[in-house]
Structure 1
Amino acid sequence: MQRKPIKRQTRISVIIVTRNRHRQLIDCLQTLHSSTSKYFDLIVIDQSDKTEETEDLQSQLAQFPSAVYVKSGQRGKSKGLNIAIQSSRAPILAFTDDDCLVDKHWLSSLSEVFYEHPDVVGVFGRTLPFKPAFHMGRVCPAFFDKSGSHNIVDPQKDLGYIGYGNNMAFRKSVFKSLGAFRWWLGPGSIGSNGEDVELAIRCLIHNQALRYESRALVYHNRWITPLEYRIQDLSYVCGEAACYGYYALLGYEFAKYLYIYTFRLEIKHIILLVRHLRVRVLREVASLFFWFCVKLFARLRGTLVAIYGVTVDTKNTFFVEA
C-alpha cells in the first residue's frame, strides 16, 4: 500500500478530549501556543458537566484561528477521540491530554519522524513528570521515560516501547483502514483504560509499523497521593486485561501470553513482598492481600469487558454523535 509522502513540516491535527478540567486544559493550550511549529490545527472535545471556566477556555481557544471546539454530551475518552477524528482534516493526528504540557518542539519532532520514516503509521513519545521536585510525597501516573528511539513491529517483544495516549500520533489513514478507537476501552468507559495500547496492537497485527521517539516530549502535570495511585492502577489493570483478553479471545497467541504473564507477575509480586517483610505485621500482610484481591477483581472486570468486546461490531466505529 503506497502512502502519500509526508512533508518535513506537514499539517497536524492536535486532538484533546477534556472533562471538568478546563483550568488544566488552558495550561496545556498555552504550551501548544508556544510551539515552534505553526502547521497545526486544534480540536477540543469537551465532555464537561461543569461550566464555571468555559469563558476562560473560549478566550484561550481564540488564539487558535482554526480551532474546532465541540461540546459533547457523550462520555468516555474514546468516544470523544472518535468525534474529533471525524472532524480532522490533517494527514497526521496527534493526541495529548488536558493535564499535559507539551514541549515546544513536540509537533515539529512528530512531523520529522513521519517524514524520516514513511513506512511508520504511528509514533509514541516520551512523557515525563512535570517538576517532580515541587511535588514531594506525590505520584505522577502515566509517565513513560525511555531514551532514544525504537522500531515497534512485534506486539510481544516490543510492548515495552508502546507509550501512553497522552503522547502519540497516527496517520489518519490508519483510522480509515483499521477503524476508530474501541469505545468500550479508555477512561470513562466500561474498560477504564487501554484504548491506546489496543490501537497499537491492532496496527501491529495488520503489519503496520510503529515507532518510539524520545524527542517527541510531553510533560504530565498530574500529581496524586500513593493511595490515589493505587486506585488509579486498578483502571490500568482493568484496561490491560480487557485489551489482552480481547485479542486472546480472538486467538492471538501473543495476547494469551501477555494476559497470563501479567497475572503471574502480580502473584510473584505479592509473594516477594510477604517474604521480605522484616517484621511480619498482620496489618501489613492484610493490606497487601486486600489490594491483591482488589486487583484480581479489576482483572476479572477487564476480562468480562474483553468478552463483551468480541460480541460487538467494533470495525470502523465512526458512529458517535456529539
Structure 2
Amino acid sequence: MKSFKVIGIIILGMIILFFIYAIFLPNEVVTEKEVEINAPVETVYDLVNDFHQWQNWSPWFDTAHEVTYVGADKGVGAVMRWVDDKDKVGERSIKTSDFPNSIIVVTQFREEHSTADMTFEFSSMSDQKTKLTLKFKMESQFSYPFGRYIAWLIQAGVDNSFPRALVNIKDYAEKEKSDTLDYKVIEEEFAVSNYLLIKDSSAMEVMDKVMGKNFGQIMNYIKMSGLEVQGAPVVFWQKFNPQGISVFWAAMPVNEGTKVRGRVENFKFEGGKVCKIEYFGAYDKSAGAWNTLDKYIADKGYTMNGAPFEQYITDPVTEPDTTKWQTNIYFPVK
C-alpha cells in the first residue's frame, strides 16, 4: 500500500508540474528573422510574390506531395493549396502585395482550424542589395494547458524552418543575380524609324491579351493603308509595374507615316545611341537582362534618353520552344 501511495504522490506531482509549467508557455507563436541579400529588391520580391517560385526556396515543400495553384498568377488573390505526406491539407494566399515594401501571406491549416500571418518586409539598401525581414504570428486557439504545449512545439518548428527559408531565398536570389553576368551588352546606333502605334495600359495577368488585340488592330490598319511592315513588333515601356498597371506603346515599324484615325497614332523614333541585349527565353524571365542593362549604363555613366523598348524577333505562334524566343531589349542612352 505504501508503494502505491508513493506512486500516486509522484503522479500527482507530475500532473501539478505539467499545469504549472504550462502557465509559463506562450499561447501564441511569434518570430522575426532577417537576412541581407546581394540582389535587387525586384528579384527578391518576385520570389515571394509568385507562389510558383516558392518551390525554389521554401523548406515547407519538403513535406508537400501535392500542390495546386488557383486564383491570380501572383500578388493579391494568388492561392497555393497542398496536401502533405500525412494527408493534412493547408492553404496559403497573398493578402496584401505592396511593391516594393511588403507582402502578407495568410496560411490556413484546415485540420487544426487555425490561421497564421507571414509578413515579408523588403528594404532596398542599394541598387544591388536588399534586407528581407520575415515576421510570423499565429494566434492561438491554443487553450490552457494542452494548447500551450502545442504552441511550444510549433514555435520550435518555426524557429528551425524560418532561418532556412531566408537562407534559401538569399542563395537563390544571388544565383539569379549572378546569371545576369552572362548577358552581352551591345552599344550601337538605332536608325530613325516610323511606327504606327496604340498607347495602352494593363495589369500583367492580362497583358498578352491586351497587346495581342492592339497589334491586331495595328496590322489591320497597315493593310487598309497599303503600308509595308519594316521589321518586328516593338513595345515602348513608358511605365513598367509588375505588381500593378504598366503603361506601354504597342508599335509596328512601317515604311512611312500615314493619315491615322481612332486609337492608331503615328510615331517617329529619332534614333540615336542604344545599349542592347539579345535575350533568348520566355518573356517573364527577362529580368536578368534588364538588370544587366541597368547596371551597365550606371557603370558607364550613361543616362536614359527615352523609354526602353523591346523588339520581338521570334513569333511565339510559330515557335513553341520558349528557349528560342529572341527579344532585343534596348535602352536609349546619352
TM-score by length of 1: 0.23
Structure with greater proportional strand content: 2
Highest RCO, 1 vs 2 (Cα 8 Å, sep ≥ 6): 1
TM-score by length of 2: 0.23
